[in-house]
Structures are given as structure tokens and as C-alpha cells.
Structure 1
């Protein structure tokens, strides 16, 4: 898919600015036509995942992939599934594209834009094997809670795109948000908690620089694992 003009909409994310290195700018120019997925502000067509990846395999949607550290490690260790990593931060998208090329990964595609728009307008129901949302913005101020990813209508949308038996894995280092996430996911009638309360850390998820900063600041990490009925 061609790279189109992108103006981030403030929804469940903070728009961020950042400069790209020459290496990353080169990667974006060369690799976007091959592995990039543009998510317009007003999508008008569905995304064919079989065509996108060139095979029929379970697809993991990663929401907020950042610089792509977790995506690369998990996709490398999990060649039987395909990974669609989505972020609104262009330097992060470019960085991930560069590393995908360096590692020779064939099971990663990279989306630029609002994951909610992708879910709502571009992905079919029952089309995903898993959704990962690691360290979404906690939007700590009360007046911003409506922007959180984990609220009932967004969770219902996430669940509807999972195939039956598909999994939703998430993590946060914000204790108050962890409680909200657990309550909201538990309340969804189509999801089942795979553990009693919080889940053990997903072994395949690497410790990213972002997570390490939270640990060094003394924040506890909370993991959750739910499955679609």
C-alpha cells in the first residue's frame, strides 16, 4: 500500500514528533512500498491479510509498537504467525522497517496510523489470532480517561476482530490503569480471563527500553491475558 499523507488524530494516543536518522529515512523510502500499511483517517477499503502477508496464517495485531523492539523479538521467535505492528510515530515505523530488513523477517508488516480506525474499518470480524497492546498510554488525568484504549466500546471492537479462541495480551506499568483494564476486560461477556486476576509475564515478550525505565522508576508491571469465547 502506498504511503499517504498522515496527520495523526488525537484519540487513544499522543501525537509525537521526532527526527529520523538518515538510515531510518532511507528505510522508510525503500521499504514502505513493500511492507507498509497506510491507515487513512477515513478508511474506505478492507485489508486482505492473506494478500498482505502472502500466506494464510494467524495474524497478531500489535497496537502501539513503538520502536519495534518487542515486535521484532516476538516475530523472530514465532515464524508460524504473522505480525501487523501499528503505531502513529513515523520514526518508530521507520526503525522497525529497518530492523525487519536486517533480520530478514518475512512475517512482519508495519502500519502507520490509528489502530482503532484499522480495527473498525479495515479488518473483518474474526480475522485476528491475537491482539497485543503493551504499555498503552494510561492517560492519567481524569479528564483524559475517555481517550484510553481500554474502555468498553474499544474492548468490544477488539474482541469482535479476534477469531474464537483468539487471545488479547496487554501490559501496563500504571497501577490504576491496570485495575481499570482488568475490570473492563472482565466485564466484556465475550472474553474469558485465562488467569485469576493478573497474568504472569508473557515469556516471549522482551523487556524494552520503555519498560526498563518504568522498572527503574519503581513501578510494578501488570500483565493481562484474555481469550475470546
Structure 2
């Protein structure tokens, strides 16, 4: 559902020596390497062409606004953003248009947006630079490693998971991100009262999300009827989402609050 088209000409690759990184000053291909256990991942890295503008943004802005998720250190979010404003984590941002709009509409909230799609990383950095958005940081790597190894407990004021891969085949359902173990880990990093906002246009996945979130003791539905929520104004309607709606697709938003708990849950 993320917007993917770009009118720039694809960047022509230049010959690289064997082992030379694609972007010497940009995101690393596998920042966590083999430091952590192999497990079933909810994402699949995509290889696609990088435009000249995206490549330039990666080279120029990654050292300033980029974060490789290597799992080797704890992040001080205030230091990362240069202020003490609340931080919302966005997992999966496509080409970043919606992320940039949300950052522009709410400059008092910092957005840590992570993805593994290199063109999208470059595009979001370029948008942030063009629009003067200093409240965006772009992460490269695995959200599980970021949450488990690099973020402090109660450090996030919100979590956004918009249109995650639905993994529609039954044998792939174990790859879906919204699972009980993930929610327990996420809850340990969310402050009480933080908003977890999911959106999907895959109805079977929406039903599972609602079931799993409703059953989890650390989250409470913001809807009194226990169902789906209308799309809030702060989540922009992307062009591709609009096209899907015109074709009769149904998009479900789920808004759940992190509830206070008397016992501290350990992240697994």
C-alpha cells in the first residue's frame, strides 16, 4: 500500500571492487551480522534500483540521520534526536511519503522509522531534507533486534505498524509480525498510555491482529465496542491506499493503548 513510483531516472551502477559496500557512508547490508540467533523473520529484504537522488541522500545524510540496527549498544533517544520530545517507532515505511507528512504535521513528536528497503531509506532521507524535518531518524535493520537489544524500557511513546507484509499463505503465517511474543516485547519498550496503531488492507490478517491484541494483557482497545477504529486524521491516506479503496479494498485500523501493569514483564 506504500507509494512506490518515482519519476527519477534509475541510478546507473558503477563498477565496485569485490566486497566494496554499495554506499560507503550509508546503511550497511546486514548491520546485525551473525551476532544474534537465526530465526524466522517477518520481513524479506527487497532489492530494487536506487535513483540518483536517493543514492545522494544516502551518502550525504545517512551519517547525520541514519541508524544501523546492529544490536551492539543501547540507544539514548534524546541524544539521537538532540531533544527530549516523545519518540514514536514506525516499523516499515515503504517510500516514506506518509512518514514525512506525519513528521511535518506533528513537529513536537520524533519519529524513528525503520525499514530494510534501501530506495525507501534514501527517499525518506531526501524528503526529510527537502522539507526541513529534523524530527525523523531512519533505521536500517531488524525491528526485533532494535526493540530487544537497543531500546530502553518505557522509552517509546508510540508504535506504528502500517500495512505489514500479510504473509497470506498459511505456511507463512508464522512470519507475521503481530504475534503475542512481539507484543510482549513491544509493551516492554512502550510507556504506559502509549498508542499502538496498526493498519492493514488484508482482512484475514486484520482479524488475527484484533484477536491477538484483544487477548494481550498489556494492551487495551481504544474502541468501546472492541472493534476496529476509523482511520485517524494523523495517518495520511496515501495515493495507493486511495486507489485500493476505489477498487473496494477495506482498510482496518487498530488503535490500542499500552496499559499500566503492576508487574514488569521481561522481553524475550
| TM-score, normalised via structure 1 length | 0.94
Kept in 1, the 8 Å contact 2:27–2:140? The answer is no
Report the Cα distance in structure 1 between the residues aligned to 2:112 and 2:214, rounded to whole angstroms. 26
The answer as to whether partners of 1:137 and 1:148 remain within 8 angstroms in 2 is: yes
3-state SS of the aligned residue for 1:55?
coil
Structure 2 unmatched ranges of 5 or more: 1-24, 32-37, 260-268
User: The residue matched to 1:169 in structure 2 has which SS?
Assistant: strand
Say if 1:59 and 1:130, in contact at 8 Å, map to a contact too.
yes
Whether the 8 Å contact between 2:28 and 2:68 is mirrored in structure 1 is no
Of 33, 45, 53, 1:15 maps to: 45
Aligned length: 226
Task: Check if 1:143 corresponds to 2:171.
Answer: yes
TM superposition shift of 1:217: 3.7
Structure with a larger share of its residues in helix: 1
Given the superposition, is the C-alpha separation of residues 210 and 155 from structure 1 closer, same or farther in structure 2, using an over 3 Å criterion?
farther
Partner SS state of residue 129, structure 2 = helix
Structure with higher Rg: it is 2
Q: Structure 1's 174 and 159: CA in aligned 2 closer, same or farther, altered over 3 A?
A: same
Q: Deviations over 1:199-222 (max 9, x none)?
A: 111111111244234324421000
CA distance in 2: counterparts of 1:61 and 1:215, whole angstroms: 26
Which SS does the other structure have where 2:73 is aligned? coil
Residue of structure 2 aligned with 1:211, choices 219, 238, 241: 241
Which consecutive aligned stretches of 4+ in structure 1 deviate over 4 angstroms post-superposition? none
SS at match of 1:155: helix
Cα 1:4–1:174 change in 2 (3 A) is: closer
Q: Where does structure 1 lack aligned partners over 5 or more consecutive residues?
A: none
Q: Is the 8 A contact 2:27 2:66 kept in 1?
A: no
